[in-house]
Amino acid sequence: MLPRWSRVFSHISRVSHSQRKTELVRRDLSAFSFRKYAKVAAAAIVESSAKCDTNKPEVNLNKMFWSKPCSLALAIDSPNRIEDPQYEGIKRVILKLMLFYSKQSQLIRWANAIYSRVIYQVDRPAIYDVFSLETTFKTTFSLLVLHMWLCLRRLKEEGKEGVELGQYLYEIFNHDLELRVSKAGVNLLIDKWMKELEKIFYGNIVAYDTAIGKQDELQNVIWRNVFSDDGTSKPSDGALPFAMTRYIRREASCLSLTDKEAILSGNFMFTSLEDTGADTVRK
């Protein structure tokens, strides 16, 4: 697994670096995150990051993600809810003829809604700030896989319907990933690299499924997949992977407590990481 990680991500990083130099376009990698690339100045990246960090609230990882799990379902009056449009008359007849209300069409809409929750959590700066992660293709990919696993794991609890929806969710993820790889500058042999990423995806899913019931093993898997640059299986600094392990376990429990309707329709949101001040870290 480790040679595959190294080969794929070093290639993508190398191509991305070359493209930035030749085209002078910083936004090529901004699809993966909106955290740092818009602020990069080649001669002052360290200085800029330091100035930015002084304005961030202090994060106390030891106090985070200890609270009792609860449902992640959105309230009925939440502005973040995604509802199927209800048309009447001729519009409804036309949409019905166009199979808008077919089971397949509904599953695709639900899968898009669920994936929108995944990228909302992964593409925002908060998760990188809380866990002190760099905004790289590897890190973002790893976080996408981790949150996809949470969703797919929960969908399997709903039996055949959930598994079928999970397949549509994976297809949407795969399409988004292909766009991200392309925007990183990998336009040649993209099918080859997508196959490599697919193998990594399934390898990670199996690893998380195996480790979920074991505290130390899950922490080591998260360290290896998300934090480690060299594939070291044992964390050199246990605080970060331990905190993320608590976060992942809590999210998994919260999703299990979320009702079927909210899960299938995508009307839930992962725990917010936006406000991590001293008074609000126990979420």
Compute the distance between CA of residue 36 and CA of residue 38 in angstroms, rounded to an integer: 6
- Which amino acid is residue 280, in one-letter code? T
pLDDT bucket at 268, cuts 50 / 70 / 90: very high
- Over residues 272-282, the mean pLDDT reads 58
Compute the distance between CA of residue 96 and CA of residue 212 in angstroms, rounded to an integer: 43
DSSP 227: I
| φ/ψ of residue 158, rounded to 5 | -95, 10
Residue 65, SS3?
coil
Pick from 165-179, 181-195, 206-220, 224-238 the range whose average pLDDT is largest: 165-179
| φ/ψ of residue 268, rounded to 5 | -145, 165
| pTM of the shown model | 0.78
Looking at residue 124, its pLDDT comes to: 95
Compute the distance between CA of residue 239 and CA of residue 182 in angstroms, rounded to an integer: 34
- Over residues 186-212, the mean pLDDT reads 90
Compute the distance between CA of residue 124 and CA of residue 32 in angstroms, rounded to an integer: 9
pLDDT digits (tens, 9 = 90+) for 151-195: 999 999 999 999 999 999 999 999 999 999 888 777 667 788 899
- Does the pLDDT of residue 88 top 80, yes or no? yes
DSSP letters for 151-203: HHHHHHTTHHHHHHHHHHHHHHHHHHHHHHHHHTT--SSHHHHHHHHHHHHHH
DSSP letters for 121-157: HHSSHHHHHHTT----HHHHHHHHHHHHHHHHHHHHT
- Which amino acid is residue 24, in one-letter code? L
| φ/ψ of residue 73, rounded to 5 | -65, 140
Give the CA count within 13 Å in the CB-facing half-sphere of 7. Answer: 12
pLDDT digits (tens, 9 = 90+) for 31-58: 333 333 233 223 332 333 334 444 555 6
- Residue, of 115 and 59, whose pLDDT is higher: 115
Work out the number of other CB atoms within 10 angstroms of the CB of residue 100: 16
Looking at residue 32, its pLDDT comes to: 34
